Structure 1
Amino acid sequence: MLRIFDVIFSALGLFVGFPILLVVFVLGLFDTGSPLFLQKRVGRNQRPFTLVKFRTMSVDTASVASHLASAASITKMGAFLRKTKLDELPQLWNVLKGDMSLVGPRPNLFNQEELISERSKLGVYDVRPGITGLAQVQNIDMSTPKLLAETDKLMIDSLSVKAYFTYILQTVTGSGSGDAVN
């Protein structure tokens, strides 16, 4: 049932949000010269997939988890995109393709070994990763792997249609700050 919501809302979001996507893309050309950020992430059953986001950091920023990146790497436009969560909009394509869900554990990098271990123990990779979820609205990021994995598991075990829409609504209305940056 939730996959049907994912397909409907991601397609609708891409269609309705196309003018915004286009404007941000063009502005991103002037900001970094490379407006899209593509990165291999750990998906369902630990299979790799390519995450698509709008770039918020300079092109030469190391490929590390956000909490390990320097805040100096964030561009002025990137700070705005992060604050408004517009940098996440291209992930609707990942949702439509089936790589992700609107709600699920945030996909991590393959070099985040401690988080992979904690999530593996709890079966977090049995579901599609998501754009938002319980950890995001509670401001729990990847800097606390054990707590994040436990929160992801709690969300997975209690996910209902009501919770699905609650997490989306909380995210859209500004709950959660996303992954911290040093």
Structure 2
Amino acid sequence: MYRKYVKRIIDFTFSFIAMIVLWPLFLIIAILIKLDSKGPVFFKQKRVGKGKEHFYILKFRTMITDTPKDMPTHMLNNPEMYITRVGKFLRKSSLDELPQIINILRGEMSIIGPRPALWNQYDLIEERDKYGANDIYPGLTGWAQINGRDELPIDIKAKFDGEYVQKISFIFDVKVFVKTVFSMLRGEGVKEGSSKEEAL
């Protein structure tokens, strides 16, 4: 019941409230991005959703517009040269992820679930297939995120995603959400460069 119906109702309700409450923050971040560098406020990137269907994830733009597309950050020769000044703060604080509230409202994502893989991260997608982690909606945050985030190798990340699939419940989602808040406040697990698993 929770996985099939209640989770979606909670996702929509809380995301709708978040959009109403956070719109001033959205506006401030948008202005800072436009003042800091040329380019759009939002960054769109093709990701893998439920059932391995593709959708475009939304984020606040944190890199210059000349950054190579559809490439994980760890594959860039010098990722720091592409990240804007405002982008460094947004990525460190995870505020760049806020526009995914729109993805949740659209029914493309959930608040809690495996982080959506890039469409060309075939190794991660294949590993997740072993655990059924591609059969649920990807999330704004997830069990793997609070257990290592960017520091996790792909096989371990997929195992945590599979563990989440097995444990999905309202109580477990609340646990993940609360731990995510504390993790963000401490800035844990966010790395640029060689250890980065996905473009953020």
Query: Normalization by structure 2: what TM-score?
Result: 0.85
> What is the CA–CA distance in structure 2 between the aligned matches of 1:28 and 1:178, rounded to whole Å?
24
Q: Distance in 1 between matches of 2:151 and 2:54?
A: 18
What are the ranges of 5 or more consecutive residues in structure 1 without an aligned counterpart?
A: none
Tell me the CA shift for residue 143 of structure 1: 6.2
1:164 to 173, 179, 186: 173
Paired with 1:179 and 1:153, the residues of 2 have a C-alpha distance of 22
Aligned-CA RMSD value: 1.7
Q: Tell me the CA shift for residue 174 of structure 1.
A: 2.8
Query: Does the 8 Å CA contact 2:151/2:189 hold for their aligned counterparts?
Result: no
Q: CA deviation at 1:156?
A: 1.4
> Aligned residue for 2:159?
150
Structure 1's 142 and 37: CA in aligned 2 closer, same or farther, altered over 3 A?
farther
TM-aligned CA deviation for residue 90 of structure 1? 0.4
Preserved CA contact (<8 Å) 1:67 1:179: no
Unmatched runs of 5 consecutive residues or more in structure 2: 1-5, 194-200
1:10 maps onto 2:19 in alignment: no
Question: Match of 1:40, as an amino acid?
Answer: K
Alignment correspondent of 1:89: 98
Please list, as runs of the form range in 1=range in 2, the aligned pairs for 1:124-135 lying within 5 A after superposition.
Answer: 124-135=133-144
Q: Which residue in 1 is equivalent to 2:192?
A: 181
Q: Is the 8 A contact 1:67 1:143 kept in 2?
A: no
% identical aligned pairs: 39
Which 4+ stretches in 1 moved above 4 angstroms?
A: none
Which amino acid counterpart does residue 49 of structure 1 have in structure 2?
Answer: F
Query: What residue identity is the alignment partner of 1:8?
Result: T
Matches within 5 A, 1:114-129: 114-129=123-138
Structure 2 residue aligned with 1:47, among 24, 28, 53?
A: 53
Aligned residues between the structures: 182
Give the 3-state SS of the residue equivalent to 1:51 in structure 2: strand
- For the pair 1:29 / 2:41, whether they are aligned, the reply is no
CA distance in 1, matches of 2:190, 2:45: 16
* Secondary structure of the corresponding residue to residue 120 of structure 2: coil
Mapped pair 1:57 → 2:90: no
| Cα 1:177–1:61 shift into 2, 3 Å | farther
Deviation at residue 152 of structure 1 after TM alignment: 0.2
> Pick from 67, 71, 87: which aligns with 2:74?
67
Alpha-carbon contact 1:136-1:177 (below 8 Å) kept: no
